């Protein structure tokens, strides 16, 4: 009987100690380190203007006004729903996908005639919440944005170049443009009554 009690005691103490270390201590340590080293990212990379949260630099959001840069299409929930992240799960032979892509391609081609539409502007990302475009996806939209804002294309193209983020650590990923940050910079530099 003493052996059974001893084994139960050891098992109970082991369970309590490992739960305290790995269930409480480790998460608290990681949370504290994140708050100290990466405070903005740990808190969702919230973007504020005038003390009001207007979005996150990590989550895509819709812009449909012609004077703004448009993000990739979203299949998350009913579109850009951060609580329902996910792709469309439509395969390359899906008639629904082909129809959606062609409809979107025609809509975008009408805004910049004679220029091929970058594929990212007509297809959703895997998460449906990608906040970035490639520089080519942003440059494709320069003519429309410049026309709607009443500024020259070279100035808007220069703004895209300024807001283009390089590869991380010079080798990871591809150059990219955060759509929210680009549109905020656009509003700061060329303010006007443009519907979002």
What 3-state class would DSSP assign to 54? strand
- How many other CB atoms sit within 10 Å of the CB of residue 89? 9
C-beta separation of 129 from 80 below 8 A: yes
pLDDT, tens digit (0-9, with 9 covering 90-100), for 93-122 = 999 989 999 999 999 999 988 899 999 999
CA atoms within 13 A of residue 53's CA, in its CB half-sphere: 8
Structure tokens at 67: 């004077």
Query: Of 1, 77, 63, 18, which Cα lies nearest the Cα of 195?
Result: 63
pLDDT, tens digit (0-9, with 9 covering 90-100), for 155-192 = 999 999 999 999 999 899 999 999 999 999 999 998 86
Q: Which residue has tokens 């009690």?
A: 5
- How many other CB atoms sit within 10 Å of the CB of residue 140? 23
Alpha-carbon torsion angle 184, 58, 133, 195, nearest 10: -40
pTM for this entry = 0.81
Distance, in Å, from the CA atom of 99 to the CA atom of 115, rounded to the nearest integer, reads 20
């Amino acid at each position: 009987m003493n052996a059974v009690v001893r084994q139960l005691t050891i098992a109970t103490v082991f369970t309590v100690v490992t739960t305290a270390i790995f269930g409480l201590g480790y998460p608290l340590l990681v949370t504290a380190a994140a708050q100290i080293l990466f405070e903005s990212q740990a808190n969702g990379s919230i973007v504020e203007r005038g003390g009001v949260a207007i979005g996150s630099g990590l989550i895509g959001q819709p812009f449909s006004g012609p004077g703004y840069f448009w993000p990739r299409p979203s299949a998350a929930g009913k579109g850009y729903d951060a609580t329902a992240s996910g792709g469309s799960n439509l395969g390359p032979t899906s008639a629904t996908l082909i129809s959606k892509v062609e409809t979107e391609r025609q809509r975008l081609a009408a805004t910049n005639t004679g220029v091929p539409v970058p594929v990212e502007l007509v297809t959703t990302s895997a998460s449906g919440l990608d906040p970035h475009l490639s520089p080519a996806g942003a440059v494709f939209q320069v003519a429309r944005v410049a026309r709607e804002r009443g500024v020259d294309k070279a100035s808007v193209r220069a703004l895209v170049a300024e807001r283009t983020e390089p590869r991380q650590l010079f080798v990871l990923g591809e150059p990219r443009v955060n759509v929210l940050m680009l549109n905020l910079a656009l509003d700061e530099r060329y303010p006007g009554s443009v519907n979002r």
